[in-house]
Amino acid sequence: MAKEKFTFQAEVSKLLDIVARSLYSHKEIFLRELASNASDACDKLRYASLTNDTPNDGDGNFKIILSVDKKAKTLSIADNGIGMARNELADTLGTIAKSGTEAFLAQANGNEKDDVSLIGQFGVGFYSSFMVAEKVDVLTRKSGEDKSWLWSSDGRGEFTIEEAKRDSCGTTVTLHLNKEDKEYMDEARISHVIKSHSDHIGIPIVFKDGEREETLNSASALWTLQKKDIKDEKYKEFYHHVSHAFDEPWLTLHNHVEGVLSYTNLLFIPSTPPFDLFTPERKTQVKLYVNRVFITDDCEGLLPPYLRFLRGIVDSEDLPLNISREMFQHDPRLAKIKTGLTKRVLNELKKKAEKKPKEYDIFWKNFGAVLKEGLYEDQTNRSKILEVSRFHTTKSEELRSLADVITNMKKGQDAIYYITGENLDMVRQSPQLEGFRSRGVEVLLMCDPVDEFWLPAVANFEEKQFKSVTRSGTDLDNIKADDSKKGKKGKDKKSTKPIPGMDKLVAALKVSLGEAVKDVTISDRLTNSPVCLVSSEDDMDIHLERMLKQHNQLNETTPRILEINAEHPLIAKMATIVKGDKESSTEMDDAAFLLLDQARLVEGEALPDPSEFARRLSTMMERGMD
C-alpha cells in the first residue's frame, strides 16, 4: 500500500505550533508521557490476552525499551503492548478530543514558558514529543494482525501513514531530536528523568545499549506498599503517572480494606480542575486492577459520576480476571467497592473541611459544582454531601456551611433562603435581597446550574426548608429588622400606614400591563429599588426558566408578579398622580411598562421589545424636560 498523506485538524495544528515553539520549560515531561502511553499499551494487552479478547503475539514478558542512535540523533521508546491498527493511528495521533483541544488553546494562548504544565492537564502528552523533536515516527503493529504501519510527522500540519515491517506487536516511537535537545541521547539524563517521573510504572523501563540492558525504574506497584514506606514525592510521581497531569495532588487517599471483599485504593484529588470535568459523558478516571492486572480505566460502576474529579487506581483480589467489562457494571462486588470508596472520600473531605477550612475552600471552588450533583443523584449519601457543601452568602465573602447559616438564623426565621443566578456579582445586586439584608437574614447565593435541580430534590436541611427569595409568599413580617436598620425610637423604618393612592396605583398598573404580568402587589422585600419581579409559588423559578430557554428546553414565558416598593419616591409620586387623576391612560401605560422593563433588566433578562422601550423612555424624558 502506498504512503498516504493526511492533514491535522485545525485545532491540532495550532496546538502543535504552541507546544513545539512556545512552551520551553520542563521539556523532560515528554519522556514521562511516552513511557506512560507505553505502559498503558502493555496493560491493555495483558488484560485482553487474559480474557481471550485478543491474542498476544509477543512473549508475554512486558517491558519498555529506551535506546539511542547517536549517529542518527534519535531516541526510541519501544513497547510490546497491544499496538495500533491503521485507523487507530489516524484517529489517535491525528485528532484530539475537540473540547480538550479548545480548552488547551484557550489557556495556552498568549502564554509562553510557564505554561508547559498545561500539556499534562489537557491530555495531549504525545504531542509534547515535538518540544524536543523535529520529526516523530511511530512504528506499530496491532496484536492479532499481520500488517504493521508507520506514522510520521514533523508537527507542521501534516502526517503520513504507510505500510511497514515490525516483527511483533507493539509500538516504537522514534524521536529525531533537535540540535539543542541532544541531552536526551545521554543515558544518565534519561535515567534521571525516568527515576524522577516514571519510577513506579509497573512495567520495567529498560535502557538498551547494544547487548547491555539496564532497568531504570523500580517497576513495583506503589499501592501494594505500606503507607509508612512511601514518601510524598513518590505519591506525587505516581499521581502524575496515572493522571497524566502536572499539578500536585491536593489530597491523597491510600487505604487497604480487608473482609468479605478485599481491595486497595490509591486515589488523588487534583489541585487544579481537569479539562474534561464537565463533559456530557461525566466519566470517572480511576483505573481498575485485579491482582495488579489492569482491567479498565472506564468502569462506570466503580465510582459515582459526581466523584469524577478523582484520579488513581483501585486493585481487588476478589474480582475475576476473565469477566467482561460490560458485566463489571452490574457486579454486586463492584457495587460494594463503590459504596466503600464513596463513604471514605466523603469522610476524608469532612475531616479536611473541619481541620483545614482554608485549604478546603480551594477544593470547593474547584470541584464543588461537581460534588453537588450528588445531592440530586445520591439520596443515600445526601446528608454527608450537605455536611461538606459550602456556599457563598450575603453575610460574608468567605464560604459558609449550612450549619453556619442555621446558627446565624434570625428570630422568627423558619427557612433557609437562597437566590439563584448566573454569577455572584449579579445575584449580590438583586433587589429581591433588599428586605432580607435590612433584617440581617443570611441568604445563600447559588450560581451553579446544578443548584436549580438539587434544591427542589433536597427540600430541607435539619428541618429547615429551602425557600427562594424570588418567589412570592415570602413573609418577612415575623423577622425583626437589625437595630442598625431601625429608627431612633427602635421602630422599623418601614411605615405600616397605608399610603394614599397606592391601591389605586396597583389597580392602574394591572390594567395597563394586562397579561404581561401575573399580578401587581406591594412588596415587603424592597427597601431601595422601586420594583422587582418574582414568580408565584406554583410557577418555575425565574433563573431556571431563563436557563431552560437558553438551552431550547422551554419555549413559553410565564408571566411574573410585579412587586412595587410603596415607599420609593418614584412609586409614591406615581400614586399621587393616579390619585389626582392627572395622568392619561397612554402616559400610565408608558410608565407601567417602563417599570416592568426596568425589573426585567435588573433580572438580566432581554427586553421583549427594545424599540418600544426606547420610545417610551424618550417620551418620558421629553415630558420631564418640559
Class of domain 4-215: alpha beta
Do the beta carbons of residue 273 and residue 262 sit within 8 Å?
A: no
State the pLDDT confidence band at 101, using cuts at 50, 70 and 90: very low
In terms of DSSP H, where are the helices of 109-261?
Answer: 117-121, 187-197, 232-243
Average pLDDT value for residue range 459-465: 91
pLDDT computed for residue 310 by the predictor: 96
pLDDT tens per residue, range 60-72: 789 999 999 999 9
Residue 21, pLDDT above cutoff 60: no
pLDDT tens per residue, range 279-318: 888 888 898 888 877 777 878 889 999 999 999 999 998 8
pLDDT computed for residue 11 by the predictor: 59
In terms of DSSP H, where are the helices of 258-331?
Answer: 325-328
CA-atom Rg of the chain in angstroms:
32
pLDDT computed for residue 27 by the predictor: 82
List CB contacts of 580: < 8 A, sequence separation 6 or more.
Answer: 501
Residue that wins the pLDDT comparison between 189 and 477:
189
List CB contacts of 606: < 8 A, sequence separation 6 or more.
Answer: 600
- The strand ranges marked E within 439-513 are 443-446, 460-461, 464-468
What is the grid cell recorded at 231?
Answer: 514518601
pLDDT computed for residue 490 by the predictor: 38
pLDDT computed for residue 266 by the predictor: 96
Residue 265, pLDDT above cutoff 90: yes
Average pLDDT value for residue range 253-263: 92
Class of domain 495-625: mainly alpha
Do the beta carbons of residue 394 and residue 434 sit within 8 Å?
A: no
User: Residue 576, exposed/middle/buried by CB under 10 A (0-12, 13-18, 19+)?
Assistant: middle
pLDDT computed for residue 15 by the predictor: 64
Which of 18-27, 122-131, 358-367 shows the highest mean pLDDT? 358-367
Identify the residue whose cell numbers are 425565574.
542
Residue that wins the pLDDT comparison between 301 and 580:
301
pLDDT computed for residue 189 by the predictor: 95
For the ranges 247-256, 471-480, 518-527, the lowest mean pLDDT is seen at 471-480
Average pLDDT value for residue range 94-100: 50
Q: Which helix (H) or strand (E) holds 578?
A: helix 569-579
2.60.120.10, 3.40.50.11260, 3.30.70.100, 2.10.50.10: CATH of 382-483: 3.40.50.11260
Residue that wins the pLDDT comparison between 494 and 611:
611
pLDDT computed for residue 546 by the predictor: 78
State the pLDDT confidence band at 23, using cuts at 50, 70 and 90: very low
Residue 157, pLDDT above cutoff 60: yes
The domain defined by 222-357 carries CATH number 3.30.450.20: no
Residue that wins the pLDDT comparison between 126 and 248:
248
Q: What is the mean pLDDT of the chain?
A: 84
pLDDT tens per residue, range 31-71: 988 998 898 889 888 888 876 656 666 667 899 999 999 99
pLDDT tens per residue, range 196-224: 778 878 889 999 999 999 999 887 788 98
Domain range list for the chain: 4-215, 222-357, 382-483, 495-625
Residue 444, pLDDT above cutoff 90: yes
